[in-house]
Structure 1
Amino acid sequence: MLDLQPLLCPRSIAVVGASTSPDKVGGVPIRLLAELGYVGRVFPVNPGADTVQGLRAWRSIDAIGEPVDLAIVAVPAPGAPDVMAQLGQAGTRAAIVFTSGFAEVEGGEALQQALTAQARAHGVQLLGPNCLGAMNLRERMYATFSPIPLTGVPPVGEVGLVSQSGAFGAYAFALAREARLGLSHWVTTGNEGGVQVADVIEWLAHDPQTRVILAYMEGAHDGLRLRRALAAARDAGKPVVIAKVGTTAAGASAAQSHTASLAGEDAVYQAVFDEYGVHRAHTLEAFFRLGYTLARGSRPRQWASRSGLPADAVAPVAIVTVSGGVGIMMADSAETLGLPLPPMPAAAAQTLRTAIPFASTANPIDVTGQVVAQPQVFVDALANVARCGQYGSVAAFLAGGANAPRLWAALQGTVTELAADASAAPLLVSGVMDDDKRAWLEARGCLVFREPAHTMEAVAALARAAAMEAATAATGAAAGGTLAQPTTPMALATPVPAGASALSEAEAMACLAEAGVPVAPHAVARDADEAVRIAESLGFPVAVKLCSRHVLHKSDIGGVVLGLRDAEAVRAAFARVSEAASGATDAAGRPVPFEGAIVARMVRGWGEIMVGVRRDPVFGLVALAGIGGTAVEIFRQMAFGLAPLSRERARAMLEQSRAAALCTGHRGHPALDLDAVADVLVNVSRVADALGERLDTLEINPFIVGAEGLVAADAVITLR
């Protein structure tokens, strides 16, 4: 882990390129540090001035005569590498480079490389270039040229915020102030010539002053660093909320030009986020709402221990409402989010029906508009479901009831009692109320939302965070939520030819079979007579396919013949395949040698699944699974996971891609053991892992789904 202490907790700061004008880039940080109470020493460096904004100025960094923890660099881009060398020679431990004109512009990559090379050579932790800086609100350290802190700062709190974009970071700072979301640190990484978003996440994961981490990302340079950082946050029980942009081709292109980030395929990033329990935000509003929820909300921990169910089980929610229509909307949200809605316990239901015979005690629990006349009945229903031990959370919709004096008084009494009861389920409230009432509820542990659907999303986020924390604690940080550690690596005995760009189908099938992946019975024939003998030994019907390392899409040249039912048909098919090979060429335009034909038994089943592994430029080997066959290009219903897969992740991929529906029994077909099906995916991913750096792609399309499970009917492995 990078030591970011001198960067984020400096005892002394030098400003190189310090300006006497408090409104210029080199002047704003000096003004911020002075006006907002930074207690460390500040050294303005300006060779043309004796004083800068009331402070003694220094001609150069070495003229200071002692090392400083942090240097803020605000000089033109061409001079930045020399300044970095001077900082390193003076013993400076960290530097923030505001200056733009590096890798984010055409022709600036070489200049950025020179800057980062100097930082590495002298052991300086570099933030930037082309960044807006960093802040530590607890230490009143404002190393930024954004003037926004001068108009007010958020409260000091336990939320760390890191952003690749400076403009986003500044806007997020202002929104955090408006939302009264307490921040611990604020960091913008810009072009990430040194410190990356991943490094800040990892450091915040170990920071005792931070409880929740918010991150804005356009892409990752180093997938392994990001995975390590997210694992550190997960293991520390600190939720991470990420707003990842560049999800479309246009967005990815914009991200590349904005901060020179490598924006990978969004589905792969989502697989990484799923692996480590990251909460994904797709809007700024959701970004801060999730931050608010996870920073202030109580986890439904008590429920699992009282119910006797596993700690990572999804906690049910009770919806208590004054409006049946809104209750239905909240129930719809709960089902979409996977939140169970068990009915009200019998005793509590009877109490409610006795007081209001026409109330609904199912779930949502609808007290109806009668709450105006009988407010105590509503709050009693809240208290009963919160204390019954059946629910992990209680979501209440008040409409405008908080503004009714009798209901508000009754609610205050009940909330006060529940806040003092450690066994009660946490309460989340939606409705219209003024800031004073909202603050009163929040001070007693109630999250408050205006939109009822947001209440349900908050319940789901807290339940997910609780499940992740419980699973991590139970498994010694194996991998949170429903995930477990991948299986033991394997070594392949099947030889992989040196210099080859692909394996033949027969070689690929041999690798899979070695790993325990079921493959269609087959053999390679060199002539028609041998093909007939193989077909007769396998049993008809059979398929005859061209066997070649150079032709991956055999059907495109007529190299696949299916459904052969006798010897004569096999002979004819062999001749056809041989002729197809004679007219084929490799990628270099050279004739393809005929290596024989695969004769394989036709596998019967009722569905097809595609399973593959490909090398992602950021995260390495990524597995995918989904509905296969010719429909794969039409529906593109795929799920992703990092290879090698765990069984739990493989099973989740089957369910997310809806491929599991082919295995659960339908139209008279038997149900398959989904864990056994998942194990096949695991073994495919182990083959990819065993091939290691040689692998480019591995694809089985189709896996035939039949009564005996999955059987690979075809396989393609390309090499680097």
Structure 2
Amino acid sequence: MSPDLSRLLRPRSIALFGGGWAVNVVAQLQKSGFDGQIWPVNPKRSDILGVPCIASIDDLPAAPDASFIGVNRDATVDVVRRLNAMGAGGATCFASGFRESESEGTGGAGLQDELVAAAGSMPILGPNCYGLINYLDNVALWPDQHGGVPVESGVAIVAQSSNIAINMTMQARGLPIAYVVAAGNQAQIGASGIASALLDDDRVSAIGLYLEGFGDIRALEALAAKARARKKPIVAIKIGRSDKARAATLTHTASLAGNAAAGSALLKRLGIIEVDTIAVFLETLKLLHTIGPLPGASVCSVSCSGGEASLMADMSEGTALSFSDFAPAQRAELKTELGLIVTIANPLDYHTFIWGDTERMTRVFATVMRESFDLTVFILDMPRADRCDPSGYQCAVDAIIAAKARTGTRVAVLSSLPENMSDHFTRSFMEGGVAVLHGMSEGIAAITAAIAAGRRPGSAPQPLLLCGKPAGSSKMLNETASKQVLSGFGLKIPRSIQAGSVDESISNSSQLDFPVVLKGVGLAHKSEAGLVALDISDQTHLRAEAERMQALASDFLVEEMAAGGVAEVLVGVTLDATGTFLLTLGAGGVLTEVLGDTVSLLLPVTSEDITAALQSLKIGPLLRGYRGKPPADVAAVANAVQSVCRYVEANSERLLELEINPLIAREHDAVAVDALISLREN
């Protein structure tokens, strides 16, 4: 059972341990307007900023709901143990030098284990973290400055970096932040557990996660399920996309997929919306807080400039946004209001003929909003108040807010540059129920994310297949052994013979039908070493190729040619650092690296998942039949992939990597002509 965080997150009494850092926390609590009890524990001071100090933890008047522990790492363990013994509600552990420093030989890992044991059932944040800010209840258990203000409702942000959390509080984008919680080392409670507790607060509209690692996958699955049930979206940034650690791996699959692909596949599977930058992260959370996930992709863009209309259309190209046409009656009404010169199209440039006539602008804007667009977006950049007079733009502000009130539809204002929407106007729009998006690229990305949030599946996916961290050295099965074990799970492979010499290859080839393929066994990447010869027509040709290869090959594999291929498909599975198994499908054969055409899923998968993934590839048209060519048997390809998945599930405690490249997709079947498997030895 997860620790109860309610007292820690919403305390009425707070104890503080430490010197200068505790002073900072008192300052932030006073600044925030916290009206509960503050108990600094410091035997060397009579008070901190006017708050009387308590000489010892034993002199506390009661068990505190929350504590900030700003002492050294060894003393931290002792304080946590004593707080737990007295029934405290929880603590944030500021000190570093725990598991994060283990590579320096500091003994931090063992000390972190001691810390968790000392805490028992009492929840702790960190160590190596700043703590938490609750802007709903004026709680700042935080030893540094922050830029947030009290709110009545808002989004909750959980970050594995305290500095990034501070930066987010400094945003000037109008995002109402309800909580900021730093997770630190997550010794006891991970980011998923913290976020799960925040979901219980009805004042929280959405969750934002800044992740450096996923931690407990089962906890993340549980968080996603709870958020789905509560109808609260989760937005995440997962850093580490540039990790090169797996670039020199055995198979093409691992180097193509990498850790970023597994992370993205995991978030997508769980219905968590992934974004790439902090700006888009904040804009997406703001849009979701204000109007929620979008039910569809139909967007209307409205501006008084043809340049803005064109830029909006161009920058939305390739995204999920769909600029659907106006309805005939709507078009006619807009033409009457705007005149013959104005072209009625989406994106709409309404020109400036009506500018300054607030009532007429309101009628036009309400006419645009009344139809079935999922979101109406007004492109509006405000003059900077320090050098210009923005009062001439008040008509647009008033008209947009009034039209929103008349129609009750989803409306956003988007400034083409982030700095061109001041805090004053942002607050005005937000108070009127209009979302404000700062920056055109950021805004379009946020709208795309809100569309994705609206498309989240209603039901939870199957639990992920996880590896139990196998021990032991690794070994690689050669092509013959790999294909044989996979054939036992239903994978179709060509008829073949394996031989230890040139003469044996020739004599045994009589069992096969020519043309055949000859492969030198012993190297992972045979084609690059010249150990593959295709379309061998007879035994004379076979002998010549075998003699050419014999200096490099330990054995020979002769197999019948898989003729009649419609497309070549890569099928790979890699064990990710998260313990999940990443299935990669893509263009196979010589096109694997050339096209980089892959899609990634996490196991287990359904046949429907596999089919949809195959159809999304660039080689999808080939599979469907291209320019008069016959289509491939996609069902047979999906069945072949499922046979691989069955093997992975049966060997999940041992498998490291698996690759079939290529799987030949044919008109009536699919056959694997090359395979490699890497396993942990028991």
Of residues 357-366 and 429-438 in structure 1, the stretch that sits farther from structure 2 once superposed is 429-438
In the TM superposition, what is the alpha-carbon distance from 1:714 to its structure 2 partner?
0.6
Counting only pairs closer than 5 Å after superposition, residues 404-423 of structure 1 correspond to structure 2 as 411-419=400-408
Q: Which residue of 2 aligns with 1:7?
A: 8
Alignment-derived partner of residue 258 in structure 1:
none
Spell out the pairing of 1:581-592 with structure 2 (5 A cutoff).
581-582=553-554
CA distances 1:306-365 after superposition (whole Å, capped 9, x unpaired) = xxxxxxxx4322233332332222223333212222222122223334552343334223
1:641 to 596, 601, 607: 601
Say if 1:116 and 1:126, in contact at 8 Å, map to a contact too.
Answer: no
User: CA contact under 8 A between 2:138 and 2:150: conserved in structure 1?
Assistant: no
Distance (whole Å) between structure 2 residues aligned to residue 33 and residue 406 of structure 1: 41
Counterparts of 2:88 and 2:187 in 1: how far apart (Å)? 17
**What residue identity is the alignment partner of 2:646?**
R
Q: Tell me the CA shift for residue 466 of structure 1.
A: 1.8
- Asked if structure 2 preserves the Cα contact closer than 8 Å seen for 1:322 and 1:371, the reply is no
The match for 1:506 is 480
2:315 matched to which residue of 1?
A: 333
CA distance in 2, matches of 1:33, 1:395: 39
Contact 2:287–2:450 under 8 Å retained in 1: yes
What CA distance in whole angstroms lies between the structure 2 residues aligned with 1:436 and 1:26? 35
Match of 1:184 among 178, 182, 192: 178
Partner residue in 1 for 2:249 = none
8 Å CA contact 1:154, 1:173 repeated in 2? no
1:297 and 1:77, CA in 2 relative to 1: closer, same or farther beyond 3 A? same
Give the direction of change, closer, same or farther, for the CA distance of 1:555–1:83 in structure 2 (3 Å limit).
same
Measured at CA, do residues 444 and 59 of structure 1 come closer, stay the same or move farther in structure 2, by a change above 3 Å? Answer: closer
- In structure 2, the residue matched to 1:448 is 436
Partners of 1:369 and 1:98 in 2: how far apart?
A: 56
Checking the alignment, whether the CA contact within 8 Å between 1:161 and 1:213 is kept in structure 2 is yes
CA distance in 2, matches of 1:34, 1:408: 36
Could you say which residue in structure 2 is the equivalent of 1:426? Answer: 410
Deviation digits for residues 92-144 of structure 1 (CA, Å, limit 9, x no counterpart) = 45221111233444536523432332323533433122211112222322211
Are residue 245 (structure 1) and residue 239 (structure 2) matched?
Answer: yes
Distance 1:74 1:114 in 2: 16
TM-score norm. by structure 2 comes to 0.83
Mark the CA change 1:620 to 1:137 in structure 2 (over 3 Å): closer, same or farther.
same
User: Map of 1:272-311 to 2, 5 A cutoff?
Assistant: 272-301=266-295
Q: How does 1:158-173 map to 2 (within 5 A)?
A: 158-173=154-169
Cα RMSD between the aligned structures?
A: 3.7
| Contact 2:320–2:451 (8 Å) recurs in 1 | no
Task: Output the CA distance in 2 between the equivalents of 1:345 and 1:384.
Answer: 11
SS in 2 for 1:703: strand
Q: Could you tell me which of 109, 113, 118 is aligned with 1:116?
A: 113
Distance 1:369 1:183, change over 3 A: closer
Q: Look up the match of 1:688.
A: 648
Q: Which residue of 1 aligns with 2:541?
A: 569
Match of 2:43 among 38, 42, 47: 47
DSSP 3-state at the match of 1:267: helix
Q: 1:71 to 1:290 in 2, by over 3 A?
A: same
Q: 1:360 to 1:710 in 2, by over 3 A?
A: farther
8 Å Cα contact 2:633-2:667 kept in structure 1: no
Query: For 1:548-627, what aligned pairs fall within 5 Å after superposition?
Result: 551-555=523-527, 559-570=531-542, 580-582=552-554, 597-627=557-587
Match of 1:38 among 15, 28, 34: 34
Letter in 2 for 1:115: Q
Taking a change above 3 Å as real, the CA distance of residues 44 and 652 of structure 1, as seen in their structure-2 partners, is: farther
Amino acid at match of 2:371: C
Alignment of 1:84 onto 2:80: yes
Q: 1:571 to 1:235 in 2, by over 3 A?
A: farther
Shift of 1:160: 0.5
Alignment of 1:258-407 (within 5 A): 265-301=259-295, 314-355=296-337, 356-372=339-355, 379-389=362-372, 391-398=373-380, 403=392
| CA apart distance, 1:578 | 6.5
Residue 218 (str. 1) matches residue 212 (str. 2): yes
Moved more, 531-540 or 274-283: 531-540
- The one-letter amino acid paired with 1:346 is P
Q: Say whether the 8 Å CA contact 2:365–2:399 is kept in structure 1.
A: no
How many Å separate the matches in 1 of 2:245 and 2:499?
50
Superimposed CA distance per residue, residues 14-43 of structure 1 (whole angstroms, 9 cap, x where no aligned partner): 2222x4xxxx21222234334534344433
Q: What's the CA shift for 1:418?
A: 0.8
Tell me by how many angstroms 1:606 deviates.
Answer: 4.8
**2:208 is paired with a residue of what secondary structure?**
strand
In structure 2, the CA distance between the partners of 1:230 and 1:499, relative to structure 1 (3 Å rule), is same
On the 8 A contact 1:348/1:381 being kept in 2, the answer is no
- Match for 1:322: what amino acid? C
User: Relative contact order (alpha carbons < 8 A, sep ≥ 6): 1 or 2 greater?
Assistant: 2
Give me the whole-angstrom Cα distance separating, in 2, the residues matched to 1:701 and 1:279.
Answer: 32
Could you say which residue in structure 1 is the equivalent of 2:250? none
Whether the aligned pair in 2 keeps the contact of 1:162 and 1:201 (CA below 8 Å) is yes
> Compared with structure 1, are the counterparts of its residues 378 and 207 closer, same or farther at alpha carbon in structure 2 (3 Å cutoff)?
same
Deviation sequence 1:501-548 (CA, Å, 0-9, x none): 23332332244334444433445567889866875665321113356x
Q: 2:626 aligns with which of 663, 666, 670?
A: 666
The aligned amino acid for 1:134 is L
| Residues 669-708 of structure 1 deviation map (CA, whole Å, 9 limit, x = unaligned) | 2344666645544443332222111101000111224434
Partner residue of 1:590? none
- What is the CA distance between 1:610 and its match in structure 2? 1.6
Distance 1:51 1:404, change over 3 A: closer
Instruction: Single out whichever of 682-691 and 55-64 deviates more from structure 2.
Output: 55-64
Give the percent of matched residue pairs that are identical in Structure 1 and Structure 2. Answer: 27
How far the C-alpha of 1:417 sits from its partner, in A, is 0.9
Moved more, 624-633 or 678-687: 678-687
Of 51, 60, 64, the match for 1:64:
60
Letter in 2 for 1:147: Q
SS at match of 1:686: helix
Question: What is the CA distance between 1:145 and its match in structure 2?
Answer: 0.9
TM-aligned CA distance change 1:487 to 1:686, over 3 Å: farther
Partner of 2:253: none
Quote the offset at 1:440 in angstroms.
3.9
Q: 1:143 aligns with which of 135, 141, 144?
A: 141
Aligned to 2:677: 717
Structure 1 counterpart of 2:112, which letter? Answer: L
Give the drift of 1:298: 4.4
